[in-house]
């Protein structure tokens, strides 16, 4: 209701609402009935969203109804795949048609009878001219049309031919049925438009029952009239079609008050193309990964990216209903997304471009749990604990050895506060001796600054961070505008709109997130979406932007999509700053694309075996160039990968373990760690066969790096074997469901987001030893079964 009130107040009395208000005052219609009539030959995009919001919104506002009707009159392009996708998108957007789902194909017989009636009345005729002959005979905007030789056929001949067309006697293109109106009309559409054509093709609903099909102009108005639509709302490109709309309904005998057509401006946004033909090209030519690619303006793509449907509805409210076409700044959509997410998105932390920080004065073995609210500005916000154990990851961009004036982040000798934690000072900078790249910071912390500022000095800034002990390695997909220019259609005559594609529209980077983003949290159910809708898990990574889980997300390999940044950085990139302007060093970080390291390339140049492995890892194992780069950047890391792969044959799984976990134990000078590749492969095997969980395996790896012991020996000595006995886990599962009985009831009532809560509680109570697959099975049995 609040959203409806906002719609009414922000949209005001636009011209369509004024028309409806007047008709209601006149008592013209018993009920306001609108419709959304997509052709099922593609996926809906954000341009359709305006029509959806307008038609369904008006019906809701005026207490009427809105029909969903598929205009399926072209058997060559339509498919049930699209009808299903369209229904899914409309429901996701927040609307429902109830029992009012219709198909144009259900009206084929009624339309045919109207066509015969027009023939009998002398208002339609069968034309046997070719398509090119008909086009030439129509004339031009300055010259009237001329009749073809078949315009004056008798009624009897026309009926005979039309019925034989239906019976399938003629080939495609042999005849068409045309209206007989006015070949001198200034409106070219009124110069005897074609109503029916022969099309011997299988229809996805009616099969082979028909071989003649009505064209849009004939079918559209009749469908509206058959269904009792009161207000037929179309975009402005159908302005000239209104005359034929009225002509058909008048000639077919539909009496007032009948349906009428009204046109409004479509929604166009810059940096996108909304042409169905061009979207098909982007998909088929491989410029994007599919119809749900998060860079596309399709509703499926926006949904996967994590855009909340309320933000699209808000954008449509902001744009309003007008009579003149215009292009909307894409920044308005970004604004609507931020406005929607800001009040509710849990604040969490992640690091996209990691730099290790070691607190050298942190007591060995000490661990602190720092309480942090999910919504810091909201009183009574739920909280989670962040583990601080002496080593953390920060953004590499948050440190510089040569700070400019006004620098508020970390630098040698400088101090910053870790978010929700202590003030730290940078005492030592560790660099790569070959490249000079900073690889580690050694810092000290001020024990008296937890929750308070020091009295004797001012601290520059606050940095987000992730615990090196508990952080979870994750992939981040940073999406940006698909095109480099606001109007991709503005190309030279010999050019193509794809020439303007933005090569940096997708940047993939690897970093770390706090555990709650993967494991879920009982007091923040929105942090983990349901399995069939991962994009519902939307969070703000502080100082970075809003992110959502991708459909590729798994707890073992988390993937997050950036929905939108915290502010618009695009304008700064497309409009160079004047030289005298200073960079805003407090601005949110924008991660850049990882590139193949020059230093690692140099290592391969000096070691032909590593160069061979670099190519083999990509060609034979399917690893990415960036992963292959890291794995062959030193002999120690590569040998570790080779040894592990000899034991556990899944190259991508072993690669993830080496890059995200094991490589950090390789010495600064390339010294091999205390464990070898075979031991690492054995540990990966133990995760794969369910002996230990991934979380426990990380602990085992840490001990292997310290002691050099065999992973099996460590697992046995510390009794770390994963618990996969139902008899042991069932009491734990039932205890959790009993303690959270109200949440269980909410889950059964439809709140599937809560499943992560139950999983997290069981895993926590088992010390991380419970078999996740078994826990999921036991929970599902009890929650789904009542």
Tokens at 689, concatenated:
């066969």
Helix (H) or strand (E) holding 357: strand 354-359
Q: Answer yes or no: are the C-beta atoms of 683 and 700 closer than 8 Å.
A: yes
DSSP β-bridge partners for residue 261: 232
Give the containing element (helix H, strand E) for 169.
none
The candidate with the shortest Cα–Cα distance to 556, out of 330, 273, 773, is 773
Catalytic residue among 276, 332, 408, 635: 276
Residue among 213, 17, 209, 15 at smallest CA distance from 111: 213
Of the residues 17, 39, 166, 777, which is catalytic?
39
Tokens of 645: 């792969």
Query: Which two structure tokens, joined as six digits, stand for 298?
Result: 């399709």
Give the list of residues 6+ apart from residue 700 with CB closer than 8 angstroms, or none: 683, 692, 711, 714, 715, 720
> Tokens at residue 88, please?
């899914």
Structure tokens at 514: 């706090």
Residues present in the chain in total: 786
Give the C-alpha separation, 725 to 263, whole Å: 65
- Residue for token pair 């012991």: 709
- Contact residues for 156 (Cβ-Cβ < 8 A; gap 6+): none
Name the DSSP letter for residue 298: B
CA 64 – CA 17 distance, rounded (Å): 14
Which residues make beta-bridge pairs with 232?
261
CA distance 721 to 698: 13
**675 Cα distance to chain centroid:** 41
Q: Is 384 a catalytic residue?
A: no
Taking alpha carbons only, the member of 671, 673, 670, 669 closest to residue 657 is 673
- Residue in the block written with tokens 């697992």: 715
* 276 is known as an active-site residue: yes
> Which residues lie below 8 Å from residue 318, measured CB to CB, with a gap of 6+?
10, 332, 336
Residue 382: strand, helix, or coil: coil
Question: In this structure, what token pair is assigned to residue 77?
Answer: 């392009």
What are the tokens at 172? Answer: 């495609």
Looking at residue 181, the DSSP 8-state letter turns out to be -
- Virtual CA dihedral for 453, 458, 461, 467, nearest 10 degrees? -40
Choosing from 166, 205, 258, 266, the catalytic residue is 266
Residue 266 falls in the annotated catalytic set = yes
CA dist 460 → 342, 349, 587, 780 (Å): 25, 20, 14, 49
Query: At 467, is the secondary structure helix, strand, or coil?
Result: strand
**Which residues are part of the catalytic machinery?**
39, 266, 276
């Amino acid at each position: 209701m609040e959203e409806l009130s906002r719609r009414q107040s922000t949209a005001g009395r636009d011209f369509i609402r004024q028309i409806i208000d007047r008709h209601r005052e006149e008592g013209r219609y018993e009920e306001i009935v609108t419709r959304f009539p997509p052709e099922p030959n593609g996926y809906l995009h954000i341009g359709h969203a305006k029509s959806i919001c307008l038609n369904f919104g008006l019906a809701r506002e005026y207490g009427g109804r809105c029909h969903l009707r598929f205009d399926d009159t072209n058997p060559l392009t339509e498919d049930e795949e699209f009808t299903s996708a369209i229904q899914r998108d409309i429901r996701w957007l927040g609307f429902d048609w109830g029992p009012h789902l219709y198909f144009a194909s259900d009206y084929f017989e009624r339309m045919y009878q109207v066509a015969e009636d027009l023939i009998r009345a002398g208002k339609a005729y069968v034309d046997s001219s070719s398509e090119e002959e008909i086009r030439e005979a129509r004339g031009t905007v300055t010259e009237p049309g001329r009749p073809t030789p078949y315009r004056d056929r008798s009624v009897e001949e026309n009926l005979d031919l039309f019925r034989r067309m239906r019976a399938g006697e003629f080939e495609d293109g042999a005849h068409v049925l045309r209206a007989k109106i006015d070949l001198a009309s200034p409106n070219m559409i009124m110069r005897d438009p074609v109503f029916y054509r022969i099309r011997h093709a299988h229809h996805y609903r009616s099969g082979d029952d028909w071989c003649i099909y009505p064209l849009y102009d004939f079918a559209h108005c009749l469908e509206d009239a058959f269904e009792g639509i009161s207000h037929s709302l179309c975009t402005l490109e159908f302005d000239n079609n209104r005359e034929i709309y009225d002509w058909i309904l008048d000639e077919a005998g539909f009496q007032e008050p009948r349906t009428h057509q009204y046109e409004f401006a479509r929604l166009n946004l810059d940096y996108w193309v909304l042409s169905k033909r061009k979207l098909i090209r982007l998909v088929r030519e491989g410029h994007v990964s599919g119809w749900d690619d998060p860079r596309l303006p399709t509703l499926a793509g926006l949904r996967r990216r994590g855009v909340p449907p309320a933000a699209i509805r808000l954008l449509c409210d902001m744009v309003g209903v007008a009579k003149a076409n215009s292009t909307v700044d894409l920044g308005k959509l970004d604004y609507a997304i931020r406005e929607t997410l800001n009040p509710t998105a849990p604040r969490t932390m992640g690091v996209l471009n990691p730099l290790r920080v070691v607190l050298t004065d942190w007591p060995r073995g000490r661990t602190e749990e720092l309480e942090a609210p999910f919504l810091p500005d909201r009183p009574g916000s739920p909280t989670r604990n962040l583990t601080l154990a002496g080593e953390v990851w920060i953004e590499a961009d948050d440190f510089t050895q040569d700070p400019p004036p006004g620098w508020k982040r970390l630098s040698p000798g400088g101090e910053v506060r870790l978010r929700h934690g202590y003030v730290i000072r940078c005492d030592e900078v560790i660099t790569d001796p070959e490249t000079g790249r900073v690889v580690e910071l050694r810092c000290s912390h001020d024990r008296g600054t937890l929750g308070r500022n020091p009295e004797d000095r001012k601290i520059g800034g606050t940095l987000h961070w992730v615990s090196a002990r508990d952080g979870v390695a994750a992939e981040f997909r940073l999406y940006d505008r698909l095109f480099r220019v606001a109007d991709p259609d503005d190309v030279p005559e010999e050019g193509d709109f794809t020439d303007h594609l933005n090569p940096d529209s997708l940047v993939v980077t690897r970093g770390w997130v706090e555990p709650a983003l993967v494991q879920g949290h009982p007091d923040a159910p929105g942090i983990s979406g349901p399995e069939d809708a991962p994009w519902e898990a939307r969070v703000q990574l502080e100082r970075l932007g809003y992110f959502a889980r991708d459909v590729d997300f798994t707890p073992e390999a988390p993937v997050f999509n950036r929905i939108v940044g915290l502010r618009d950085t695009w304008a700064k990139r497309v409009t160079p700053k004047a030289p005298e302007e200073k960079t805003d060093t407090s601005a949110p970080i924008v991660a850049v694309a990882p590139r193949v390291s020059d230093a690692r390339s140099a290592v391969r140049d000096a070691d032909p075996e590593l160069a061979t492995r670099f190519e083999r890892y990509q060609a034979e194992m399917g690893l990415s160039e960036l992963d292959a780069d890291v794995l062959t950047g030193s002999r120690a890391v590569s040998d570790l990968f080779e040894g592990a792969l000899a034991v556990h044959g899944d190259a991508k799984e072993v690669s993830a373990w080496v890059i995200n976990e094991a490589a950090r134990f390789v010495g600064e000078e390339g010294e091999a760690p205390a464990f070898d590749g075979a031991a690492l492969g054995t540990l990966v095997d133990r995760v794969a066969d369910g002996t230990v969980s991934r979380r426990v395996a990380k602990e085992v790896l840490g001990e292997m790096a310290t002691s050099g012991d065999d992973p099996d020996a460590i697992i046995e000595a510390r009794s770390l074997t994963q618990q996969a006995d139902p008899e042991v886990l069932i009491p734990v599962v039932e205890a959790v469901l009993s303690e959270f009985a109200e949440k269980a009831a909410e889950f059964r009532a439809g709140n599937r987001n809560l499943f992560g809560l139950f999983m997290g509680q069981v895993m926590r109570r088992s010390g991380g030893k419970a078999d996740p697959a078994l826990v999921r099975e036991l929970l599902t049995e009890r929650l789904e079964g009542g």
